[in-house]
Amino acid sequence: MRYITYLVIGVFFGIIMYKSEAASWFRIYEMFQFGSFHMYGIIGSALVIGMIGVQILKRASIKPLDGSEMSLNPKDKGWKRYLFGGILFGLGWALTGACPGPMYVLAGSGYFSILIVIVGAIVGTFLYGLIKDKLPH
Amino acid sequence: MNWIYEPWPWYVSGPLIALIMFVLLLIGKQFGMSSNLRTACAAMGAGKASDFFKFDWRSERWNLMVVLGAVIGGFIAANYLSDNTVEINPQVAKQLASDYNLKSAGDTYLPPEIFSSEALGDPQILGVLLLGGLLVGFGARYAGGCTSGHAISGLSNLQLPSLIAVLGFFVGGLIMIHFLYPLIF
Protein backbone atom coordinates (compact mmCIF):
# COMPACT_ATOMS: atom_id res chain seq x y z
CA MET A 1 0.00 0.00 0.00
CA ARG A 2 2.83 2.41 0.91
CA TYR A 3 4.47 1.65 -2.43
CA ILE A 4 1.34 2.75 -4.25
CA THR A 5 1.56 6.10 -2.42
CA TYR A 6 5.14 6.63 -3.65
CA LEU A 7 4.17 5.57 -7.15
CA VAL A 8 1.32 8.12 -7.22
CA ILE A 9 3.64 10.86 -5.90
CA GLY A 10 6.08 9.97 -8.69
CA VAL A 11 3.38 10.11 -11.39
CA PHE A 12 2.24 13.50 -10.13
CA PHE A 13 5.85 14.73 -10.04
CA GLY A 14 6.46 13.47 -13.58
CA ILE A 15 3.42 15.27 -14.96
CA ILE A 16 4.45 18.51 -13.22
CA MET A 17 8.00 18.31 -14.58
CA TYR A 18 6.78 17.70 -18.12
CA LYS A 19 3.91 20.21 -18.13
CA SER A 20 6.00 22.95 -16.52
CA GLU A 21 8.59 22.37 -19.28
CA ALA A 22 11.28 22.11 -16.59
CA ALA A 23 12.18 18.81 -18.30
CA SER A 24 12.80 20.56 -21.63
CA TRP A 25 16.36 21.10 -22.81
CA PHE A 26 15.22 24.37 -24.40
CA ARG A 27 14.05 25.79 -21.08
CA ILE A 28 17.34 24.93 -19.35
CA TYR A 29 19.34 26.50 -22.16
CA GLU A 30 17.12 29.58 -22.05
CA MET A 31 17.54 29.80 -18.26
CA PHE A 32 21.33 29.88 -18.50
CA GLN A 33 21.01 32.54 -21.20
CA PHE A 34 18.78 34.58 -18.84
CA GLY A 35 16.24 34.57 -21.68
CA SER A 36 13.08 34.11 -19.60
CA PHE A 37 11.75 34.32 -16.06
CA HIS A 38 10.02 30.94 -16.42
CA MET A 39 12.55 28.61 -14.73
CA TYR A 40 13.47 31.20 -12.11
CA GLY A 41 9.77 31.61 -11.36
CA ILE A 42 9.29 27.85 -10.92
CA ILE A 43 12.28 27.40 -8.61
CA GLY A 44 11.67 30.72 -6.83
CA SER A 45 7.97 30.17 -6.11
CA ALA A 46 8.59 26.57 -4.98
CA LEU A 47 11.29 27.93 -2.71
CA VAL A 48 9.29 30.79 -1.14
CA ILE A 49 6.35 28.48 -0.41
CA GLY A 50 8.78 25.78 0.74
CA MET A 51 10.54 28.11 3.19
CA ILE A 52 7.30 29.35 4.73
CA GLY A 53 5.88 25.82 4.95
CA VAL A 54 9.01 24.33 6.50
CA GLN A 55 9.09 27.09 9.13
CA ILE A 56 5.47 26.37 10.01
CA LEU A 57 6.11 22.60 10.19
CA LYS A 58 9.09 23.19 12.48
CA ARG A 59 7.44 25.72 14.79
CA ALA A 60 4.29 23.69 15.15
CA SER A 61 6.46 20.58 15.75
CA ILE A 62 4.32 18.62 13.31
CA LYS A 63 5.27 14.94 13.07
CA PRO A 64 4.94 12.76 9.98
CA LEU A 65 1.84 10.56 9.84
CA ASP A 66 3.72 7.50 11.10
CA GLY A 67 4.98 9.42 14.15
CA SER A 68 8.64 9.36 13.08
CA GLU A 69 10.89 12.42 12.95
CA MET A 70 10.51 14.93 10.13
CA SER A 71 13.34 14.44 7.58
CA LEU A 72 14.69 17.97 7.93
CA ASN A 73 18.25 17.08 8.88
CA PRO A 74 20.84 19.83 8.64
CA LYS A 75 23.44 19.25 5.90
CA ASP A 76 27.03 18.50 6.94
CA LYS A 77 29.17 21.58 7.46
CA GLY A 78 31.90 22.65 5.05
CA TRP A 79 31.90 24.18 1.59
CA LYS A 80 34.32 22.32 -0.67
CA ARG A 81 32.09 19.39 -1.58
CA TYR A 82 29.14 21.70 -2.19
CA LEU A 83 31.06 24.10 -4.40
CA PHE A 84 33.10 21.56 -6.39
CA GLY A 85 30.32 19.00 -6.61
CA GLY A 86 27.84 21.75 -7.47
CA ILE A 87 29.97 23.05 -10.34
CA LEU A 88 30.42 19.55 -11.79
CA PHE A 89 26.68 18.97 -11.51
CA GLY A 90 25.96 22.33 -13.19
CA LEU A 91 28.26 21.47 -16.11
CA GLY A 92 26.36 18.23 -16.66
CA TRP A 93 22.95 19.83 -16.15
CA ALA A 94 23.65 22.40 -18.86
CA LEU A 95 25.30 19.87 -21.18
CA THR A 96 22.33 17.46 -21.19
CA GLY A 97 19.60 19.95 -20.29
CA ALA A 98 18.37 17.45 -17.71
CA CYS A 99 18.77 17.02 -13.98
CA PRO A 100 17.99 13.71 -12.26
CA GLY A 101 14.18 14.09 -11.90
CA PRO A 102 13.46 15.12 -15.51
CA MET A 103 15.72 12.32 -16.83
CA TYR A 104 13.19 9.71 -15.74
CA VAL A 105 10.28 11.81 -16.96
CA LEU A 106 11.87 12.09 -20.41
CA ALA A 107 12.52 8.35 -20.50
CA GLY A 108 8.77 7.85 -20.02
CA SER A 109 7.90 10.45 -22.64
CA GLY A 110 9.67 8.38 -25.29
CA TYR A 111 13.04 10.07 -25.72
CA PHE A 112 15.06 6.90 -25.46
CA SER A 113 18.46 8.52 -25.91
CA ILE A 114 17.97 9.92 -22.41
CA LEU A 115 18.72 6.35 -21.28
CA ILE A 116 22.36 7.05 -22.23
CA VAL A 117 22.29 10.02 -19.85
CA ILE A 118 20.79 7.85 -17.10
CA VAL A 119 23.48 5.20 -17.60
CA GLY A 120 26.08 7.99 -17.43
CA ALA A 121 24.54 9.26 -14.18
CA ILE A 122 24.61 5.80 -12.60
CA VAL A 123 28.25 5.33 -13.66
CA GLY A 124 29.07 8.82 -12.33
CA THR A 125 27.49 7.96 -8.98
CA PHE A 126 29.49 4.73 -8.89
CA LEU A 127 32.75 6.57 -9.70
CA TYR A 128 32.09 9.00 -6.88
CA GLY A 129 31.68 6.06 -4.50
CA LEU A 130 35.02 4.66 -5.66
CA ILE A 131 37.12 7.80 -5.24
CA LYS A 132 35.22 9.80 -2.63
CA ASP A 133 37.86 9.34 0.08
CA LYS A 134 40.46 11.00 -2.14
CA LEU A 135 38.32 14.11 -2.78
CA PRO A 136 38.23 17.28 -0.63
CA HIS A 137 34.92 17.51 1.23
CA MET B 1 -10.15 21.19 -25.05
CA ASN B 2 -6.93 22.90 -26.16
CA TRP B 3 -6.21 24.13 -22.67
CA ILE B 4 -5.27 20.58 -21.69
CA TYR B 5 -2.26 20.75 -23.99
CA GLU B 6 -1.08 24.17 -22.85
CA PRO B 7 2.06 24.23 -20.68
CA TRP B 8 1.63 25.18 -17.05
CA PRO B 9 2.89 28.64 -16.07
CA TRP B 10 5.58 28.96 -13.38
CA TYR B 11 3.11 30.13 -10.73
CA VAL B 12 1.21 26.85 -11.06
CA SER B 13 4.25 24.58 -11.41
CA GLY B 14 6.39 26.02 -8.60
CA PRO B 15 3.72 25.72 -5.88
CA LEU B 16 2.92 22.16 -7.04
CA ILE B 17 6.60 21.23 -6.64
CA ALA B 18 6.49 22.66 -3.09
CA LEU B 19 3.37 20.54 -2.49
CA ILE B 20 5.29 17.38 -3.51
CA MET B 21 7.98 18.27 -0.98
CA PHE B 22 5.41 18.74 1.80
CA VAL B 23 3.64 15.48 1.05
CA LEU B 24 6.97 13.63 1.22
CA LEU B 25 7.88 15.36 4.50
CA LEU B 26 4.51 14.41 5.96
CA ILE B 27 5.13 10.76 5.21
CA GLY B 28 8.59 10.98 6.75
CA LYS B 29 10.72 11.26 3.60
CA GLN B 30 12.88 13.88 1.98
CA PHE B 31 12.43 15.31 -1.52
CA GLY B 32 15.51 14.48 -3.59
CA MET B 33 15.70 12.90 -7.02
CA SER B 34 19.37 11.88 -7.17
CA SER B 35 19.73 9.60 -4.12
CA ASN B 36 17.89 6.89 -6.10
CA LEU B 37 21.04 6.65 -8.28
CA ARG B 38 22.98 5.55 -5.20
CA THR B 39 20.19 3.13 -4.32
CA ALA B 40 20.37 1.74 -7.86
CA CYS B 41 24.15 1.24 -7.59
CA ALA B 42 23.75 -0.52 -4.24
CA ALA B 43 20.97 -2.74 -5.62
CA MET B 44 23.28 -3.74 -8.50
CA GLY B 45 25.95 -4.89 -6.05
CA ALA B 46 28.25 -1.83 -5.93
CA GLY B 47 28.70 -2.49 -2.19
CA LYS B 48 31.40 -4.96 -3.16
CA ALA B 49 33.47 -2.13 -4.66
CA SER B 50 32.91 0.67 -2.14
CA ASP B 51 31.53 1.09 1.38
CA PHE B 52 29.60 4.08 0.05
CA PHE B 53 27.15 1.57 -1.41
CA LYS B 54 27.05 -0.72 1.63
CA PHE B 55 23.77 0.24 3.17
CA ASP B 56 20.37 -1.30 3.49
CA TRP B 57 19.15 -0.31 0.03
CA ARG B 58 15.92 -2.22 0.55
CA SER B 59 14.86 0.47 3.05
CA GLU B 60 15.29 2.99 0.20
CA ARG B 61 13.09 1.12 -2.26
CA TRP B 62 10.41 3.81 -1.92
CA ASN B 63 12.82 5.99 -3.85
CA LEU B 64 12.74 3.67 -6.85
CA MET B 65 8.93 3.66 -6.75
CA VAL B 66 8.97 7.46 -7.09
CA VAL B 67 11.27 7.01 -10.11
CA LEU B 68 8.93 4.48 -11.68
CA GLY B 69 6.06 6.90 -11.07
CA ALA B 70 8.01 9.74 -12.73
CA VAL B 71 8.51 7.56 -15.83
CA ILE B 72 4.77 6.83 -15.96
CA GLY B 73 4.00 10.53 -15.37
CA GLY B 74 6.25 11.45 -18.29
CA PHE B 75 4.44 8.93 -20.50
CA ILE B 76 1.00 10.25 -19.55
CA ALA B 77 1.98 13.92 -19.96
CA ALA B 78 3.72 13.47 -23.32
CA ASN B 79 0.98 11.28 -24.82
CA TYR B 80 -2.22 12.75 -23.45
CA LEU B 81 -1.56 16.18 -21.93
CA SER B 82 0.80 18.00 -24.25
CA ASP B 83 1.39 18.96 -27.87
CA ASN B 84 5.11 18.44 -27.09
CA THR B 85 6.32 21.83 -28.21
CA VAL B 86 8.13 24.41 -26.12
CA GLU B 87 7.98 28.11 -26.91
CA ILE B 88 11.08 29.93 -25.71
CA ASN B 89 12.31 33.49 -26.00
CA PRO B 90 12.45 34.13 -29.80
CA GLN B 91 15.85 35.75 -29.45
CA VAL B 92 17.28 32.68 -27.74
CA ALA B 93 15.67 30.49 -30.42
CA LYS B 94 17.25 32.61 -33.16
CA GLN B 95 20.65 32.42 -31.49
CA LEU B 96 20.35 28.61 -31.21
CA ALA B 97 19.64 28.38 -34.93
CA SER B 98 22.41 30.71 -36.04
CA ASP B 99 25.16 29.64 -33.63
CA TYR B 100 24.53 25.91 -33.31
CA ASN B 101 22.21 25.11 -36.19
CA LEU B 102 19.58 23.89 -33.67
CA LYS B 103 16.39 24.93 -35.42
CA SER B 104 13.66 23.07 -33.60
CA ALA B 105 12.91 25.57 -30.81
CA GLY B 106 9.13 26.02 -30.77
CA ASP B 107 8.49 22.77 -32.67
CA THR B 108 9.66 20.02 -30.32
CA TYR B 109 10.13 19.30 -26.61
CA LEU B 110 13.85 18.42 -26.94
CA PRO B 111 16.14 19.27 -29.88
CA PRO B 112 16.11 16.22 -32.22
CA GLU B 113 19.64 17.19 -33.35
CA ILE B 114 20.80 15.93 -29.92
CA PHE B 115 18.07 13.60 -28.67
CA SER B 116 16.63 11.75 -31.67
CA SER B 117 17.57 8.09 -32.02
CA GLU B 118 19.33 8.91 -35.34
CA ALA B 119 21.56 11.45 -33.58
CA LEU B 120 22.95 8.60 -31.47
CA GLY B 121 24.80 7.40 -34.55
CA ASP B 122 27.05 10.44 -34.18
CA PRO B 123 29.83 9.50 -31.72
CA GLN B 124 30.12 13.11 -30.60
CA ILE B 125 26.46 13.26 -29.55
CA LEU B 126 26.79 9.91 -27.82
CA GLY B 127 29.81 11.29 -25.95
CA VAL B 128 27.94 14.46 -24.97
CA LEU B 129 25.03 12.47 -23.49
CA LEU B 130 27.28 10.04 -21.65
CA LEU B 131 29.66 12.69 -20.29
CA GLY B 132 26.76 14.96 -19.30
CA GLY B 133 25.11 12.12 -17.39
CA LEU B 134 28.41 11.24 -15.75
CA LEU B 135 28.89 14.81 -14.53
CA VAL B 136 25.31 14.97 -13.23
CA GLY B 137 25.64 11.68 -11.32
CA PHE B 138 29.12 12.35 -9.97
CA GLY B 139 28.40 16.00 -9.14
CA ALA B 140 25.08 15.27 -7.43
CA ARG B 141 26.63 12.73 -5.06
CA TYR B 142 29.75 14.82 -4.46
CA ALA B 143 27.55 17.83 -3.61
CA GLY B 144 25.18 15.62 -1.61
CA GLY B 145 22.10 16.48 -3.64
CA CYS B 146 20.73 17.91 -6.87
CA THR B 147 18.24 20.55 -7.92
CA SER B 148 15.48 19.05 -5.79
CA GLY B 149 17.58 18.12 -2.75
CA HIS B 150 19.52 21.38 -2.52
CA ALA B 151 17.66 24.07 -4.49
CA ILE B 152 14.22 23.10 -3.18
CA SER B 153 14.51 20.99 0.02
CA GLY B 154 17.82 22.35 1.33
CA LEU B 155 17.15 26.03 0.67
CA SER B 156 13.60 25.70 2.06
CA ASN B 157 15.27 24.50 5.27
CA LEU B 158 17.65 27.51 5.13
CA GLN B 159 20.77 25.40 4.74
CA LEU B 160 23.94 27.36 3.92
CA PRO B 161 25.56 24.28 2.27
CA SER B 162 22.60 24.13 -0.12
CA LEU B 163 23.10 27.78 -1.05
CA ILE B 164 26.76 27.05 -1.86
CA ALA B 165 25.72 24.01 -3.93
CA VAL B 166 23.07 25.98 -5.86
CA LEU B 167 25.64 28.72 -6.60
CA GLY B 168 27.90 25.93 -7.85
CA PHE B 169 25.08 24.57 -10.10
CA PHE B 170 24.78 27.99 -11.72
CA VAL B 171 28.51 28.61 -12.03
CA GLY B 172 28.88 25.22 -13.74
CA GLY B 173 25.84 25.80 -15.98
CA LEU B 174 26.95 29.26 -17.05
CA ILE B 175 30.50 28.05 -17.81
CA MET B 176 29.05 25.22 -19.91
CA ILE B 177 26.61 27.36 -21.92
CA HIS B 178 28.75 30.44 -22.40
CA PHE B 179 32.27 29.05 -22.73
CA LEU B 180 32.13 25.33 -23.51
CA TYR B 181 29.09 25.13 -25.86
CA PRO B 182 30.89 27.09 -28.61
CA LEU B 183 33.74 24.55 -28.38
CA ILE B 184 31.49 21.46 -28.26
CA PHE B 185 28.65 22.21 -30.68
Q: What is the pLDDT of residues A56-99, one digit of tens each?
A: 999 998 889 888 888 888 899 999 999 999 999 999 999 999 99
Q: Report the percent of chain A where pLDDT is more than 90.
A: 88
Residue type, A72: L
Residue B119 lies in a domain: no
Specify burial of residue B87 (Cβ count, 10 A radius: 0-12, 13-18, 19+). Answer: middle
Residue B30 lies in a domain: yes
Length of chain B as a residue count: 185
Choose the closest CB to B41 out of A39, A71, A129: A129
SS3 B82: coil
Residue B117 lies in a domain: no
Choose the closest CB to B65 out of A3, A74, A135: A3
| DSSP sequence for A72-115 | -PPPPS-SHHHHHHHHHHHHHHHHHS--HHHHHHHHHHT-TTHH
- pLDDT value of residue A80: 97
Residue B137 lies in a domain: no
Cβ distance A53 to B88 less than 8 Å, yes or no, reads no
Instruction: Report the 10 Å Cβ neighbour count for B97.
Output: 13
Based on its alpha-carbon atoms, the radius of gyration of chain A, rounded to whole angstroms, reads 18
Angle at the Cα of B68 from the Cα atoms of B62 and B70, rounded to 5 degrees: 105
Nearest to B149 by CA among B1, B37, B56, B71: B37
DSSP B74: H
Tell whether B62 is within 8 A of chain A (Cβ). Answer: yes
Question: Does residue A1 carry a pLDDT above 90?
Answer: no
Distances from the Cα of B39 to the Cα of A3, B146, B156, angstroms: 16, 15, 24
- Can you give the pLDDT of all 185 residues of chain B as single tens digits? 688 899 999 999 999 999 999 999 999 999 999 999 999 999 999 999 999 999 999 999 999 999 999 999 999 999 999 999 999 999 999 999 999 999 999 999 999 999 999 999 999 999 999 999 999 999 999 999 999 999 999 999 999 999 999 999 999 999 999 999 999 99
Mutation for testing the B interface, residue in A43, A70, A71, A95 having most B CBs under 10 Å: A95
Gap between the terminal Cα atoms of chain A = 39
Neighbouring residues of B124: CB distance < 8 A, sequence distance ≥ 6: none
- pLDDT value of residue B1: 62
Q: B40 to chain A: nearest residue by CA?
A: A122
Specify burial of residue B73 (Cβ count, 10 A radius: 0-12, 13-18, 19+). Answer: buried
Mutation for testing the B interface, residue in A43, A82, A116 having most B CBs under 10 Å: A82
With beta carbons less than 8 A apart as the criterion, state whether B149 and A87 touch.
no
CA dihedral B131, B137, B140, B146 (to 10 degrees): 100
Residue B113 lies in a domain: no
A25 contacts in chain B (CB < 8 Å): 110-111, 114-115
CB-defined contacts A:B, below 8 A: 496
What backbone phi and psi angles, to 5 degrees, belong to B69? Answer: -60, -40
Number of domains in chain B: 1
- pLDDT value of residue B91: 97
Residue B64 lies in a domain: yes
With beta carbons less than 8 A apart as the criterion, state whether B104 and B87 touch.
no
Residue B57 lies in a domain: yes
Number of domains in chain A: 1
Q: A129 to chain B: nearest residue by CA?
A: B52
Distance from CA of A136 to the nearest CA of B (A): 10
Distance from CA of B183 to the nearest CA of A (A): 12
Residue B73 lies in a domain: yes
Which ranges in chain B belong to alpha helices (H)?
10-26, 35-43, 61-80, 90-100, 112-115, 123-143, 155-156, 160-175, 181-184
Is ipTM > 0.95 here?
yes
Distance from CA of A118 to the nearest CA of B (A): 6
Specify burial of residue B15 (Cβ count, 10 A radius: 0-12, 13-18, 19+). Answer: middle
B12 contacts in chain A (CB < 8 Å): 20
Tell whether B90 is within 8 A of chain A (Cβ). Answer: no
DSSP B154: I
Q: B26 to chain A: nearest residue by CA?
A: A64
Distances from the Cα of B74 to the Cα of A20, A25, A109, A136, angstroms: 12, 15, 5, 37
Domain span at residue B29?
1-82
Domain span at residue A66?
2-134
The stretch A47-54 carries a mean pLDDT of 97
Cβ distance B130 to A120 less than 8 Å, yes or no, reads yes
With beta carbons less than 8 A apart as the criterion, state whether A82 and B168 touch.
yes
Mutation for testing the B interface, residue in A87, A131, A135, A137 having most B CBs under 10 Å: A87
Angle at the Cα of B27 from the Cα atoms of B21 and B28, rounded to 5 degrees: 85
Instruction: Report the 10 Å Cβ neighbour count for B181.
Output: 17
